[in-house]
Amino acid sequence: MRNQVQLITYADRLGGTIAGTAQVLHDVFGDSVGGVHLLPFFTPYDGADAGFDPVDHTAVDPRLGTWDDVRALARDRDVVVDVIVNHVSADSAAFEDVVRRGRASEHAALFLTFDDVFPDGAHEADLAAVYRPRPGLPLTPMTLGGERRLVWTTFTPQQVDIDVRAEAGRAYLTQILRTLADAGVRMIRLDAVGYAIKTAGTTCFMTPETFAFIDELTAQARGLGLDVLVEVHSYYQRQVEIGRRVDRVYDFALPPLVLHGLFTGDGAPLARWMRERPTNAVTVLDTHDGIGVIDVGPDQTEPDRPGLLRPGQIDALVEGIHDRSAGASRLATGQAASNLDLYQVNCTFYDALGRDDRRYLAARALQFFTPGIPQVYYVGALAGRNDLELLDDSGVGRDINRHRYTREDIDAEVSRPVVAALVALMRLRSTLEVFDGVFAFRTEDDDHVLHLDWSHEARSAALQVDLRTGDCVLEWTDGAAHGRTTDLLEDPPHR
């Protein structure tokens, strides 16, 4: 896996198809991007959860292209693809057969019901202990073969959980892994894997049994030449533990800590995290989901364990996003929209910073200099604004940060100074071969000035960020070449 900037995007929203996305990467981003995370392009890509509810996880939606298009993209860049571990669409052929035939279906063992987890029944305390990212219980009454059953549905009734420990579940995941490896995919992201193992008497979230399953699936993927990225929004110490066991883990604590620092000038929580975080991370500021706050809060399964931010700081952070986005994020978050992930704030990162170009570039510079592989969401790469029209049309909170760009839109956006500066910063991060070297971090002036330095042989890169002002100083050397800027917007680094 190349240690270069990756773009995260939906194929239909940046280029229209997989081949169109490849063309945008070539024409617009060039060598500033070394990899691309293609969000679900399976059949169908536009289901109930924007592709995260596949009917067929091994088929490319023909409206987006073919596996040959994925292979062509993988020849030029590292390709990351989701493996949706926990569930499939209720419209899948296998589950529809179970709906018709019930226990007599050959696919019955693939899907998880209440009895599979609680064969001896459950008390109120057993059900109350189950952790779910949305309100209510993760069970939906359904009629299967004429019999009323409780089907496990962690996320929505349209997303039916599979039994990953059953032979049918293991075979299902093996088929997906082999298909992706054959297409030249370099890394897989285990989506929703934290909820995949249900064990009676536990929270059914990131338990020892879950870690054992992640270990098993990771070993299988590595055997096929696939690196593994684990996607779990969780308590920060749990992320550190995950990082010890897999190739890559998301640094979901970074976005709220960067925002907190740039809102308040207080870099102490971010400095603490810099000294504790796993270095084999994929760093993000924005994704197709919202801006997570659970990752810096207290342990959701053991609330007495404090987080990186105190509850009052988290409240101020959320309100700060709402204020800077002129209330738009409030319209898209929690019970204001149909997306009920209460631990996420739905907003573009650019709007979360009040469309302040210099602070936005400071945030990106911090991301790029933090150890790990940086991923930039396609809306963020274009310094995108909240899409209130799409939010109004769909009523889905996350759509505020899922704009559909035409090629004409993209060409117009890249002419903006902030976007041109960001692409230049991405190019520096992707082409300066120093970020596999030695990293040093320090703070000064009561933790509001941060220094992030890299060195390797005749190369170096140094970043200084004043959180109170948003001012940056960036300096780099590459043999005889040298560059320095004190204004990332007006004088972006050029390679």
191 is catalytic: yes
Which residues fall within 8 angstroms of residue 410, CB to CB, at 6 or more apart?
14, 24, 28, 382
Q: What six digits make up the tokens of 440? A: 């040093």
366 labeled part of a ligand binding site: no
CA 231 to chain centroid, in Å, comes to 7
416 labeled part of a ligand binding site: no
289 labeled part of a ligand binding site: yes
Angle between helices 357-369 and 254-264 (to 10 degrees): 140
310 labeled part of a ligand binding site: no
344 labeled part of a ligand binding site: yes
SS3 364: helix
The C-alpha torsion from 245 through 248 and 252 to 254, rounded to 10°, is 110
457 labeled part of a ligand binding site: no
409 labeled part of a ligand binding site: no
From the list 12, 53, 191, 247, the catalytic residue is 191
From the list 61, 69, 227, 231, the catalytic residue is 231
Q: In 3D, which of 382, 387, 388, 386 has the Cα closest to residue 412?
A: 382
191 labeled part of a ligand binding site: yes
Q: What six digits make up the tokens of 78? A: 């590292």
* Contact assessment for residue 252 and residue 345, using Cβ atoms and an 8 Å cutoff: no
Distance CA 43, CA 427 (A): 34
* Contact assessment for residue 482 and residue 410, using Cβ atoms and an 8 Å cutoff: no
Q: Are strands 35-38 and 78-84 parallel, antiparallel or unpaired?
A: parallel
The one-letter code for the residue type at 82 is D
The one-letter code for the residue type at 231 is E
49 labeled part of a ligand binding site: yes
189 labeled part of a ligand binding site: yes
Q: In 3D, which of 168, 142, 136, 141 has the Cα closest to residue 155?
A: 136
Please, what is the Cα angle at 34 between 30 and 37, to 5 degrees? 110
Q: In 3D, which of 175, 201, 192 has the Cα closest to residue 230?
A: 192
Q: What six digits make up the tokens of 142? A: 């359904």
377 labeled part of a ligand binding site: no
Number of H helices, E strands in the chain: 18, 21
Q: In 3D, which of 300, 315, 279 has the Cα closest to residue 203?
A: 300
413 is catalytic: no
Distance CA 43, CA 64 (A): 10
Active-site annotation, residues: 191, 231
Binding residues: 49, 87, 189-191, 231, 288-289, 341-344, 398
| Binding site listing for substrate | 49, 87, 189-191, 231, 288-289, 341-344, 398
